[in-house]
Amino acid sequence: GLPVLNLLGAAHAAACQGDRSGRDALLGQARAQDPDAEVAVDFTQALLEADAGQWQEARVTLERLHARVPAHVEVSRRLAECY
């Protein structure tokens, strides 16, 4: 399969085209392909959700991330932006 970075780039491209289902499918592929990249995939998901105006979804994703990596400064900063 494609490397996770390529899948994240493709998810970003799908999001830029307004293809939320394509974005979500590509994020799912990235998550399934490399479970060790879950933080990067979830962070990308949260950013793309926020960019699409899906603030509640972004907040849920960021809260899940914050529970896993509470010292991640950028996750904390982005989470604060959702409120």
pTM of the model: 0.92
Whether the CB-CB separation of 26 and 6 falls below 8 Å is answered with no
Q: How far is CA 77 from the centre of its chain?
A: 15
Alpha-carbon gap, residue 65 to 76, rounded angstroms: 9
- Say what the pLDDT of residue 76 is: 94
Full pLDDT tens readout for the chain, 83 residues: 789 999 999 999 999 999 999 999 999 999 999 999 999 999 999 999 999 999 999 999 999 999 999 999 999 999 998 88
Alpha-carbon gap, residue 12 to 73, rounded angstroms: 22
